[in-house]
Amino acid sequence: MLSLDQGFKLISLARKAIESQFSGQELDFEEEKKEFSKNQGVFVTLNKFPSRELRGCIGFPYPIKSLALAVVEAAKSAAFSDTRFMPLEKGELDNIIIEISVLTVPEQIKAKGQDILEKIEIGKDGLIVQTHHFSGLLLPQVSLEQKWNVLEFLRATCIKAGLPTEIWLNPECRIYKFQAQIFFEKEPKGKVEEKS
């Protein structure tokens, strides 16, 4: 588990990474590389302030990069490469709040059929739905924000993958769950808190 101070450092790093793209200056994050050297999955979410409307969200579901490097790459991608949105403009950054979700390693749910629903806890688990060619992920906080029950959350993850809502019942479909430690800014460049 990360401390609140470490959560603040990661959010500061994400903001510096986005700022470096605008300034054209190389990002120096040697200290963060040392502190956050362990490979971990992470997502960076950008929301407009104060509306909290989504402005970008990209990440790495699996621990394939050091946490420091993953945060830098995910922050830049969320700002400039999320295909659902136009790239972030410099003037917008002061009205953006950053949220970072540090993930546990996804574990496959081995249950079948309706029993799958019993293995998912709203507000605690995030989901990945995967078939041969398609994959979709929703973070744990999304189910709470949308006030979904387990079935609605599972169906929404199928839709995110570009798949039919009931594909999760197909034995060929793989479903994974993971948890996240979530840090967020209360306001742009403001106090950082952890979501309980």
> Domain range spanning residue 14?
4-104+179-194
Q: For the chain, how many structural domains are there in total?
A: 2
- Of residues 71, 63, 57, 65, the one with CA closest to residue 29: 71
Q: How high does pLDDT run on average in the chain?
A: 97
For residues 146 and 188, membership in a common domain is answered with no
Assign 74 a pLDDT band (cuts: 50, 70, 90).
Answer: very high
Assign 104 a pLDDT band (cuts: 50, 70, 90).
Answer: very high
Q: Which DSSP state fits 170?
A: S
User: What pTM was computed for the model?
Assistant: 0.95
For residues 163 and 189, membership in a common domain is answered with no
Q: What is the CATH number of the domain that holds 184?
A: 3.30.700.20
For residues 31 and 115, membership in a common domain is answered with no
The span from the CA of 119 to the CA of 169, in Å, is 14
For residues 59 and 155, membership in a common domain is answered with no
Consecutive H or E run containing 69:
helix 67-80
- Residue 129 CB partners (closer than 8 Å, separation 6+): 135, 136, 154, 157, 158, 160, 161, 163, 167, 168, 173, 174, 175
